[in-house]
Chains A and B, each alone.
Chain A
Amino acid sequence: MNSTRARLLCFAVTVGTSPARPAKEPLEARLLMSFLNLTSVPYSSYVPAPRTALHDVHAVIKQVWLLLLLLLLARASLGARFALAAATAALSAVALPPGLWRPQLRRLGGLAALLFVFTAIGADGVPPVLQPRSVPPGIEGLPGVSPAAGGYRYVILHLWLITVTRRSIALAVSAASLTFVALQSASLCLTTTPPEELAGALRTLLAPAGLLGSPVADIGLTLLLSLRFMALVFDEARNLALGLAARGVAWSQLGPGGSLQIAMRLIARLFANLMLRSESIAVAMTARGFAGPAAHVVHPMGDRPSSPLANAAALALLAGVAACIWSFS
């Protein structure tokens, strides 16, 4: 009784609302929507509160960490690379509040996973187009190459078109871990350091190059301005995208050529608008007394100096990790 009713209901639902399958949106419209759905700038910016242990480390030490981490990663064995990536993820989870590290790691983990899969499949999957130069062993009456002792196999997986080899796995681990560590460590640094201190640290570290005539002040100011106006660029792009969405373009009738044309026109508009804005910004900067990066002091206005304890701990940890990687590789 009950089951027939349920079945009837089910039937009614499927019949009554049968056009439940929505018309498939064209790719262009879906791309536009996914861009508009981004609620915030998809890069990390400084988060002053809650204050974490990483906030207490001096910006110069953090930048040395970033640099050495990449150098170490280049030297490390496969296992160590993987371990460094895992350690970076763990550090993010420990140091940052969940609301921050979860989306960061989800985004970046997805990217690294994608990179891993594509490199693993693609790196060694294309058969060489060269002709074999040697006579097959069977013709010469020799026994074929016997499988290696200890179960060593170069080709790890071979399924139809997919070939995964040792080389492609090694490449995939390297690419994925390098990307992950580079981006996530930079993100950690950005979320826990005021941009003005980052720029100050960069100027400190580049000071020797300044003696050789490098425009260190310009580089520092460029970093600051890009950190400041990244959000503005994003907003501008978003506004243009909103305008496009509001016009309700019939993408399916346009075809790829028309879509490309619209995209190009949009990009041109974006750059024109950004140029206008940068002109206004330049006028305002001059009105505020700016007369070139070399003549301008950027006063860091952080409310708390770094803690000696946190600095010492960060340096000790850096030395420890470096020693470990060095001795194991």
Chain B
Amino acid sequence: MDVHVTFGNKRVLRGASLAVVRGSLHVLLGPNGCGKSTLLRVLGRQLAPAAGSARTDGPISFVFQNPDHQIVMPTVAADVAFGLGRYTLPATAVRAQVAAALATVGLAAVAQRPTHTLSGGQRQRCAIAGALAQAPKVLLLDELTTFLDGGDQRGVLEAVRACVGGPDQVTALWVTHRLEELAYADAASFMDGGRVQVTGSPAEVAEHMRRLGARW
């Protein structure tokens, strides 16, 4: 709600407003440096805005661009279980949760593989499974496909699609600068200059960007 963030004397968010439908996959587009990551950090409570407020469901899980930094355990299944390490849960509950998360992102077959032997897309999906195992209500996903090729990109998007909705009404906010990923969205927003310029259906946002002359 009208979030303002200032770093030093640089105004990064100038009244950004964003409403996301619960249980949907919402794509947030925008040029580099327009404040998308900053907005995510405000939503994830990692950053307190100078003015304005954020209201979201909880718990929230983050997934960042580089899976190499988020995967912290040597084996896939153990890494997915890492986020559960702060709770004292019975082993069977942990196993069930990890197995479900791995199945959702399509990595059940490589559960026992060392994480450094996975492909880039598999690593990204492993990071998503790690976030998913914590049973979040909101997934904040920041430019996951920037370094991926077509096949891996589709795999990751389908994994996120599989996470969204369901009985828990999981909501995903997907930040990207690849226009073609709108095809997977329920709704979308376009951000520029520290403000959300337009929010609507993927087709509407695509149309808006075409008018702006985007050539992606």
Instruction: Chain A residues near B12: list those with CB within 8 A.
Output: none
The distance in angstroms between the C-alpha atoms of A49 and B75, with both chains bound, is 13
Contact A299 B69 (CB under 8 A): no
Contact B74 A195 (CB under 8 A): yes
**In the complex, which residues 274-311 of chain A have their Cβ closer than 8 Å to any Cβ of chain B?**
277, 280-281, 283-285, 287-291, 295-303
Interface size class of B (residues with CB under 8 A): 35 or more
Instruction: Tell me whether B111 is interfacial, beta carbon within 8 Å.
Output: yes
Given contacts A281-B69, A287-B62, contact A299 B116 (CB under 8 A): no
Instruction: Chain B residues near A91: list those with CB within 8 A.
Output: none
Instruction: Tell me whether A117 is interfacial, beta carbon within 8 Å.
Output: no
Quick one: which of A48, A49, A281, A296 contacts B85, CB cutoff 8 A? A296
Instruction: Chain A residues near B69: list those with CB within 8 A.
Output: 277, 280-281, 283-284
**Stretch from B48-56, B88-96, B157-165, B208-216 at the A interface:** B88-96
Contact B114 A301 (CB under 8 A): no
Nearest chain B CB to A276's CB is how many angstroms away? 10
Instruction: Tell me whether B72 is interfacial, beta carbon within 8 Å.
Output: yes
Number of A-B contacts (CB under 8 A): 104
Instruction: Chain A residues near B29: list those with CB within 8 A.
Output: none
Contact B72 A48 (CB under 8 A): no
**Per-position 1/0 for B77-89, Cβ under 8 A of A:** 1101111111110
The distance in angstroms between the C-alpha atoms of A162 and B19, with both chains bound, is 82
Quick one: which of B62, B85, B134 contacts A299, CB cutoff 8 A? B85
Instruction: Tell me whether A194 is interfacial, beta carbon within 8 Å.
Output: yes
Instruction: Chain A residues near B68: list those with CB within 8 A.
Output: 232, 277
Contact B78 A288 (CB under 8 A): no
Q: Nearest chain-B residue to A279 (Cβ)?
A: B69
Given contacts A225-B72, A228-B73, contact A45 B114 (CB under 8 A): yes
Instruction: Tell me whether B113 is interfacial, beta carbon within 8 Å.
Output: yes
The distance in angstroms between the C-alpha atoms of A48 and B71, with both chains bound, is 19
Quick one: which of A196, A283, A289 contacts B83, CB cutoff 8 A? A289
Instruction: Tell me whether B115 is interfacial, beta carbon within 8 Å.
Output: yes
Instruction: Chain B residues near A183: list those with CB within 8 A.
Output: none
Q: Considering only CB atoms and an 8 Å cut-off, how many residues of chain A contact the other chain?
A: 34
Nearest chain A CB to B43's CB is how many angstroms away? 13
The distance in angstroms between the C-alpha atoms of A198 and B64, with both chains bound, is 29
The distance in angstroms between the C-alpha atoms of A227 and B73, with both chains bound, is 8
Instruction: Tell me whether B197 is interfacial, beta carbon within 8 Å.
Output: no
Quick one: which of B46, B72, B87, B95 contacts A301, CB cutoff 8 A? B95
Instruction: Tell me whether A231 is interfacial, beta carbon within 8 Å.
Output: yes
Contact A301 B78 (CB under 8 A): yes
Contact B78 A300 (CB under 8 A): yes
16 inter-chain pairs at a CB distance below 8 angstroms, sorted by A residue, are: A45-B116, A48-B113, A196-B73, A196-B78, A225-B72, A227-B74, A281-B72, A288-B72, A288-B134, A290-B82, A290-B85, A291-B86, A301-B75, A301-B77, A302-B112, A303-B77
Contact A297 B75 (CB under 8 A): no
Instruction: Chain A residues near B98: list those with CB within 8 A.
Output: 299, 301
Q: Nearest chain-A residue to B93 (Cβ)?
A: A299
The distance in angstroms between the C-alpha atoms of A232 and B115, with both chains bound, is 11
The distance in angstroms between the C-alpha atoms of A276 and B164, with both chains bound, is 33
Instruction: Tell me whether B130 is interfacial, beta carbon within 8 Å.
Output: yes
Nearest chain B CB to A274's CB is how many angstroms away? 12
Contact B111 A297 (CB under 8 A): no
Closest 4 CB pairs of A and B: A301-B77, A231-B116, A195-B74, A280-B69
Instruction: Tell me whether B153 is interfacial, beta carbon within 8 Å.
Output: no
The distance in angstroms between the C-alpha atoms of A77 and B131, with both chains bound, is 55
The distance in angstroms between the C-alpha atoms of A41 and B114, with both chains bound, is 13
